[in-house]
Structure 1
Amino acid sequence: MTTPVVDVHTHVYPPAYMDLLRSRSSVPYVRTFPPDTSSSRLIILPGEDDPSRPSTARGRPVGPAYYDIKEKIAFMDAHKIDISVISLANPWLDFLSADEAGPAAQRINDDMNAVCAQNAPGRLYAFGALPLSASTEVVVAEIARLKQLPYMRGIIMGTSGLGSGLDDPALDPIYAALQAQRLLVFLHPHYGLPVSVYGPRAGDYGHVLPLALGFPLETTVAVTRMLLSGVWDRFPDLQVLLAHSGGTLPFLAGRIESCIAHDAHLMKKQANSGDANKAPRRRRSVWDVLSKNVYLDAVVYSEIGLRAAIEASGADRVMFGTDHPFFPPLEEGETEWLSVRTNYQAIHAAVGREQDLAEGVLGGNAIRVLGLKHA
């Protein structure tokens, strides 16, 4: 392997962010639960704070891997990762008040940039977090400021946007600013699906249903709404990296496109859009957007899923990721993470015979797209 391995999906909760979570008493927050008061648990998903749940089913244990950058570097070394593009994990800054969000974003983004600068040159870069609950002017100003921070390579955003989804017209000035600054949007799920869809016994199955099904479907719904509302028609150069290989989007893209083509309401709406003296606006296809505006991480854990991602967006638009520090080994004494090994195996199974494609997915694509430099 001559090309550096780059992890584009890896999270850090900086100390200032951990302090914020520890100061809170409602989701999101960090606290201990009896009988085990020796370790803290991170509660970030709706419903995780249900007191009827066993303490071990409420959130997840949060240790140094979440916030100590030395742990991140050790993880990278153990798994032969040369560069990591770190990002704040969900729920980012979405829960803050308008007055708090702007200063918090500046403080945390500066901390992330400083962490990258303080470590070995070329090992760490970052995606910034936006103060989406603040005014549009504050958000746009932070986007411009992020562009000036030397280690920032884009932003991470959840599917709620300003609170009404990613098809909200109020996001247009923010999309315009991101497009103008050529900052990649790393789109990551957080809210999943309503707990009721999993049925009355969902609590018996830990986090499997919301993480395995809820997160990917949340992403699929959010991006489909962006497509339907014409986000990429208005912002044809807006580039988005989708977590977890785009959820189910690569598999369902054909069905989405077919349903759009056969929907009389949408057809009439499109015919009536635009200037009466001009031809109706021609909508870009799902396939066109997938191949020109969407990048997919390789956090899908299977050859079949990765092949779907590659077929949908192209091998030159898929990038390796680990989702560290989530999905750690459960057996005591394990040092190699099963989740990471599975991703490596899926990449080599899908494109391993074509060395140039494998090197692209493992690092070359990220280096090219994000302008990374490895010492």
Structure 2
Amino acid sequence: MASRIPKLLVDIHTHVYLPRYASVLRSREVAPRILSRTTASGQTEERLLILDNEPSGGRPVGPQYWDRDEKLRFMDKHGIDISIVSMANPWLDFLPYKSALDLSTNLNADLQTYCSTSPSLTSVEPSLNRLYALGLIPLVNDTPADTLVPFIRNLSANHPHIRGIILGTRGRGKGLDEPELEEMWGALEETGLVVFLHPHYGVGGGENVWGERENGHVLPLALGFPFETTAAVTRLILSGLLDRHPNMRILLAHAGAALPLLSSRLASCITHDPLVAHRLQHDARYYLGKLYYDAVAYGAAELGFVSAVIGRAEREGTTREEEGDAERGSTRIMFGTDHPFFPPIGEEGGDQKWQSVLDNLDAVQGVAKWSGEAKDGVKGGNALRLFGLI
């Protein structure tokens, strides 16, 4: 493969519900499940219910959720060259260990086939397929911790088109900072698999935080999901994980959620709390420069801010933004679409491009502090490097 970095558009946040997984969800009577219902017009539709009490009884699902040709058509419509697909939440949390082990093993094999038999980039980069994947590990409440290391090593060794894993925040029910998971993190660092940390449950719904007014899914998705990610990755930082495993490659969904905005507040709270101040080898802000971020932020100002915070983090001990921070920080940010979620609403026909995708592309292009080279990196070059495709 050529050593040059081709100018490709790579989508690192794009989901799939493979047929095997969809069948499991159809067999269930409680969330998470796929259910059938009759619409007002008398037609039958399937809906995905991933949590109890979802607004509108879940979301309509169809071939775009599991059909590879639909994924490729979506990519072609938006000029996307390569997608790093991942199974979507709720993953395996609802299963006992033995069932989770069997399903994750089979789904990883399905993902390998899904990607390895996909078209190549032909004349552009014929050595590359258009699809690669993030696999699953059987991390559920009753998982024996000592079974995870051999599973991870086998996943890495025998599934060449799987370049990482997607991981929820619950772990074995106690969170990802549980001491018993230390060897799991060591195996992930050793194999070089990227860990895509993605929310599912959200936070903030207790004690009527969201109020009594009906606001659909906006508050849980816009706030609850990012807060879940923020709490999970902050707990990992406080545990000293990134000191013990400095080569760990953790990718955060939704542009790092609230962590970039709260990083200096976090650092101050740590400094003034003797219980945790001694745990870390660096200022808390330093660790933001060791993480990776998708660009699913929908705004140029937000991406520019996140990249400046990341770039500043690499100058440990500093609190003031300097020229060049945003450019430096951009190398850890990568384009994503969150397909098949957030499709066009109320538009007829199948040829229109998705506004959610266009907003994210416009955001990347609109960051004033990024050079053309930095924007090309966010669109594709950074992902090609992180996932070992070049």
Question: Same fold judged by TM-score > 0.5?
Answer: yes
Farther off after superposition, 77-86 or 302-311: 302-311
Change (3 A) 1:87 1:368: same
1:372 aligns with 2:376: no
- 2:317 paired residue number: none
What amino acid sits opposite 2:81 in the alignment? D
Q: How does 1:116-131 map to 2 (within 5 A)?
A: 116-121=115-120, 122-131=129-138
Farther off after superposition, 134-143 or 232-241: 134-143
Q: Deviations over 1:303-337 (max 9, x none)?
A: 12111221122111000000000000002226210
Query: Is the Cα–Cα contact under 8 Å of residues 39 and 45 in structure 2 kept in the other structure?
Result: no
- Stretches of structure 1 lacking an aligned partner (at least 5 in a row): 271-280
- 1:135 paired residue number: 144
Q: 3-state DSSP class of the match of 1:42?
A: strand
Segments ≥4 residues shifted beyond 4 Å: 34-37
Q: Percent identity?
A: 45
- 1:309 paired residue number: 306
Q: How does 1:206-285 map to 2 (within 5 A)?
A: 206-267=216-277, 270=278, 282-285=280-283
Cα distance in 2, alignment partners of residues 154 and 256 from structure 1: 28
Query: Is the Cα–Cα contact under 8 Å of residues 298 and 343 in structure 1 kept in the other structure?
Result: yes
Q: Deviations over 1:167-212 (max 9, x none)?
A: 111211110110111111000000001423433425x111100000
Change (3 A) 1:63 1:99: same
Query: Is the Cα–Cα contact under 8 Å of residues 125 and 153 in structure 1 kept in the other structure?
Result: yes
Q: 3-state DSSP class of the match of 2:348?
A: coil
Cα distance in 2, alignment partners of residues 262 and 289 from structure 1: 18
Q: 3-state DSSP class of the match of 2:17?
A: coil
Cα distance in 2, alignment partners of residues 249 and 324 from structure 1: 24
TM-score scaled by length of structure 2: 0.86
- 2:375 paired residue number: 358
- 1:188 paired residue number: 198
Cα distance in 1, alignment partners of residues 337 and 178 from structure 2: 30
Query: Is the Cα–Cα contact under 8 Å of residues 365 and 375 in structure 2 kept in the other structure?
Result: yes
Of 340, 345, 348, which aligns to 2:365? Answer: 348
Q: Deviations over 1:136-171 (max 9, x none)?
A: 233222211221211011000011112111211121
Q: Deviations over 1:222-250 (max 9, x none)?
A: 11111112111222221100000010111
What amino acid sits opposite 2:83 in the alignment? S
Cα distance in 1, alignment partners of residues 280 and 28 from structure 2: 48
Q: 3-state DSSP class of the match of 1:212?
A: helix
Deviation of 1:94 after TM superposition, in Å, equals 1.7
- 2:49 paired residue number: 43
- Stretches of structure 2 lacking an aligned partner (at least 5 in a row): 121-128, 311-328
Q: How many residues are treated as equivalent by the alignment?
A: 352
Query: Is the Cα–Cα contact under 8 Å of residues 198 and 209 in structure 1 kept in the other structure?
Result: no
Query: Is the Cα–Cα contact under 8 Å of residues 135 and 166 in structure 2 kept in the other structure?
Result: yes
Deviation of 1:353 after TM superposition, in Å, equals 6.1
Of 25, 28, 33, which aligns to 2:29? Answer: 25
TM-score scaled by length of structure 1: 0.90
Deviation of 1:286 after TM superposition, in Å, equals 2.5
Deviation of 1:35 after TM superposition, in Å, equals 4.7
Q: 3-state DSSP class of the match of 1:325?
A: coil
